[in-house]
Amino acid sequence: MSAYDGSHPFLSQSTRSSGDPSTLTLRRNGKRSTSDGVIDTPQEYIEEALDEMEENAEKAARTIHSWFEDWSEFLATTGVASFGIGVVLGGVYSGLMNSFINDILIPPLALLFGDSLNDFFIILMPGRNGPPYDSLADARADGAITENYGRFLFRLISAIIVTIVLAYIIGAFVRFQRAFSEEESNYKVCFQCTRPIPLEARRCNFCTSYMKGMEPLDEAEPAGGSSSNSMTASKQQTAKPIESIS
């Protein structure tokens, strides 16, 4: 057996150059295991591997948490969740409205006309066997060309009912919103802390900021300030003739 030449890739450069097996130093992940050239024990190696796994798990948890926060912000700012809920509720109420029209409203009309409203049609060209046809399905099965005004009336009635119901719902919502806005009309929003304050307030009672256009009152003004203002106005009036003479 030939002597070991120390060319293993895990050995340090100095060890490979010297070729002395007694100075072998194990490298792991491109770094020496210890500073004195002693190979780590299996327990130390396992502890290092566990520490590395724990660090990778923390990184993955931070990444997942950041992704969840971004996704939550996306749902909150774009209104995707509200749109999805609206689509689901729209499908539910659409089925409810169709059931109301087909099962509640149309049967009384069928009593008036003696037949289902969808089966009212005009034969433009008979089929292979010819009329009479008991229903629109029989006419189509025979290959007849028909003008289906009954189906048009059915859809027209459905559209009118849906429009009336939606108008009532929207009207009730607008009235509720209008009543709520009238109750809140005595308040305005502070431009600093965005909290509601009375309309007559010159200063916010939350952040103590002055409102726009509401200049702070001069608290150092003396009690006779009004008389001094009148004296100043009289001086200005007496000064006007002098300016006109000049």
Average predicted confidence (pLDDT) for the chain: 72
Question: Which pLDDT value is given to residue 176?
Answer: 81
Per residue in 89-124, pLDDT (tens digit) is 888 888 888 888 788 877 887 777 666 777 788 888
Are 208 and 195 spatial neighbours (Cβ–Cβ below 8 Å)? no
Q: Dihedral sign, CA of 128, 133, 136, 137?
A: negative
Are 206 and 193 spatial neighbours (Cβ–Cβ below 8 Å)? yes
Question: Which pLDDT value is given to residue 245?
Answer: 40
Distance of CA 24 to the CA centre of its chain: 62
pLDDT band at residue 21, thresholds of 50, 70 and 90?
A: very low
Helix (H, G, I), strand (E, B) or coil at 49: helix
Strand-strand pairing, 122-125 and 145-147: antiparallel
Looking up tokens 């106005």 gives: 233
| Residue 148: pLDDT over 70 | yes
Question: Which pLDDT value is given to residue 123?
Answer: 85
Question: Span 173-189, mean pLDDT?
Answer: 72
Rounded Cα–Cα distance for residues 42 and 44 (Å): 5
Are 150 and 135 spatial neighbours (Cβ–Cβ below 8 Å)? no
Are 97 and 165 spatial neighbours (Cβ–Cβ below 8 Å)? yes
Number of neighbouring beta carbons within 10 Å of residue 181: 9
Question: Which pLDDT value is given to residue 39?
Answer: 54
CA dist list (Å): 216 to 4, 186, 210, 221: 92, 22, 7, 12
| Residue 9: pLDDT over 70 | no
Q: Which two tokens stand for residue 105?
A: 């409203």
Q: What angle do CA 102, 106, 110 make, to 5 degrees?
A: 135
Rounded Cα–Cα distance for residues 117 and 102 (Å): 10
Dihedral Cα 105, 110, 112, 113, nearest 10 deg: 140
pLDDT band at residue 184, thresholds of 50, 70 and 90?
A: low
